[in-house]
Structure 1
Amino acid sequence: MSRRSRIFLGILLIYAAGIAFLLYRVVGDIDPRYRESAEESLVDTSQFMASLIEQDVIAGAINTARLEPLFRSVYARQFSAQIYNLHKNRVELRVYVTDRTGRVLFDSLGRATGADYSRWIDVSRALAGVYGARTSRDVEVDPRTSVMYAGAPIRWNNEIVGMVSVGKPVQSFGQFVEDARARTLWVGVGSAFALLVLAIIVSVWLVRPFGLISDYVRWTRAQKSLSLTRMARRALDALRGGFGEMRDALTGRNYVADYVQTFTHEVKSPLSAIRGAAELLQEPSMPQHEREHFLANIERETRRIQEIVDRMMELTALETRRTLERTQPVALATLLDELVASAQGAATARGVRVALDLRATPLTEGDPFLLRRAVSNLLDNAIDFSPAGSTVLLSLEADAKQARVAVRDHGPGIPDYARDKVFEKFYSLARPNGQKKSTGLGLAFVKEIAALHRGRIELANAKGGGAIAVLTLPLSSGH
């Protein structure tokens, strides 16, 4: 994965992590806020009930006689209330009253009358004259049966003679919590997705004023016959191109800085050689043969700089092409046969033979010029690293979905330290027999061409010595 892609994915991961953390905090804060709201209402209700019961206190004795028919009537009421997404048709409020010792005098549900509740925190604190509340489960192992209680003291002549506690099942407002969580998650995820789509659209339009849709329509018009498979594949290529352009728009400054840094590093050595030779040529007493030697050095290093600049311009132009503008069926067997014929001259000069092994005659969809350049680069590399008297084998095979072009040499192979670097820009291994290093852009060029054709390039050491490069390409839909 390139540095640009890593930076871009890092930005996306940071963005996703930020959104996820924000949603986690917001969703996690919903339940406490609802509980606080429900508890505040229970406090009001408990104070109201305490004031009501105080009206029936006689000589410090609490009389709960009228509470039983009251709650029996309340629980029997029939109504229908639609509260947003919640339908309510019964009263779920609970009330119990204790004396000053914490013994239950009245329980609206009729379950705990006579029980000792003095250890419950809402009872003990209310009887002590301070605010007390608790949340307990009706069924210990089932959290859905939790009930929230808030207590209030019952006074007679400024003396606490008992307490009343008002409870409400958590499940009654838990539906609001779940609904709020679901809505928050949907809104958060939807907003994040919309923002990401907006960033893609803005980035694509900043880099390509005519947009991906215009490119796709222009490509469709240029086709002699339309195929749904090819159209879908082209659409996917366009989307992948948009992704790449957004990545470059976000990380373009780093990308340019990397290019400038590596380019400066590569031309520094030949420029130093040219400068040194030029200074020496200013010596009037220099012998003619040495002068010719330094002039040859200047010419060689100048050609090297020119080659680096030309290759770099080609590679940069290739990297800005997210999709192939025009494609056509390419007969790989014919293309390889032509390349072998054209490479024989350079191979013979080095005492190397180039052989061709065609095990299939597949068609691929692509740009024949770029494919020819890619395989030609692989052949040139193999010839450069091959010892005299050896053979470079160019082979072609295919299965139901893809074709594989392999270039095998019998050179020194790839050192372990270079296996992960061979496709990096400006990375080059020393040629055998004292030959100078190449520009280090050839394999990067091949990699870009393979990506444009929805293929891949792999380079590894071959069994028995040497290296083997395999260019894998998808077959044409009509093949």
Structure 2
Amino acid sequence: MTGKRNRIFVGILLIYAAGIAFLLYRVLADLDPRYRESAEESLVETSQLVATLVEQDVRDGAIDVTRLQPLFRDLYARRFDARIFSLTKQKVELRVSVTDRSGRVLFDSLGRAGGTDSSKWRDVRLALRGEYGARSTPDVEGDPATTVMYVAAPVRWHEQIVGAVSVGKPVQSFGQFVEAARRKTLYVGLFSVVAALLLAVIVSVWLVRPFGLISDYVRFVRAQRRISLPRLGRRALGVIGAAYDEMRDALAGRNYVADYVQTLTHEVKSPLSAIRGAAELLQEPGMPAEQRQKFLGNITRETERIQEMVDRMMELTALETRRALEHVAPVQLRPLLEETVAAAADAGAARQVRVLLDAPADIAIEGDAFLLRRAVSNLLDNAIDFSPAQGDVTVTLQRGTRGARIRVRDHGPGIPEYAVGKVFEKFYSLARPHSRKKSTGLGLPFVREIASLHHGRIELNNAEDGGVVATLSLPLS
């Protein structure tokens, strides 16, 4: 019996070790590219911002860079203690260079390349042609640790490109975040291996118990005692099923955390970069009051965006950890829809979007009324956001053979083909047609979790005559 237990123990351990090793390999391999993508996205916005500032000093097609030198001299002289989780940042490492239309450097924040020809660099060359330009170049040839990422943006005057701004960021500045993330991921992996050892011991004992039960059955038969073999089999299968569920939850949870860390880091990077850029510009002396209010508004807006994202993520995480509904009761759907539609009508009034309801009064389901109200509210918010001004959003309730269907229909532009398979992904969002702003991208995943807890489903499809139809299907009582 001991030999069998040892073989089962080793087999489970090897399977788990292979799975966790593959998972760690994928996570660690993706950390650096994801951080680089986030840094490049931040550099794109920064280069466009600096190019806009430089354009304010263009006279008759010539770029005046006289005010940049004292600005960056004071910027590099600043010292601060920015505690970013476990790391501390104390100085600005951003680099900026400005070139004329021929690629000659007019200004270099480090004072190294003034007057040189930079048109050979890919970022500058493409920016002068009005295209997107980016590159990664080491300061010391052959030393990857000195690599700097650059993104360039064109400087325009009367629709003509008269120069380019190149913004750089040393890879080493965010490489420390990559290393910290790798260390934490490895610690999680080692902890999981230790936990797997304990789990494997317990599971191996449970898996061997059926062999012991069979031996007991043989002894009972010899003793001429009556016992039910099917009942023994059901008991053994129940033990194996419980152990499998625990091991599946452990593996799924590890991948879930890794995915959340990567996607949340990418999504929060953009508003943080906007806040940092606006804060740095507010420190410039002599800024007009109108521009100062504009940048303060940017900081407030991006802070609210981060807060909304965190609140939505906490709600979604709490919902995903549930295995079943906590409060189940009969829910009459028409009163619930009437209440939700009345609240949504106020939101649509600003753009004169009407919310119409068509629902019979005799359809009820078993579920959580609060969660169902939140799900329908999310669908209505999306429909109103994508509806044209003075348009209609229609909510209909229908009884099917096995369940009830709540349909929310708008007459907006519909879902683009490239986004059809992504609308339920966390943090994925399409720009609203009237404001060009995006949501947190957590509303539809929230609705999907609510539908799953009610043993239903949610679907989004383009209507044949335009717009989108969201269908929430729920089983009847």
Alignment TM-score, normalising by the size of structure 1: 0.50
Alignment TM-score, normalising by the size of structure 2: 0.50
Task: From the CA coordinates, give the structure whose radius of gyration is larger.
Answer: 1
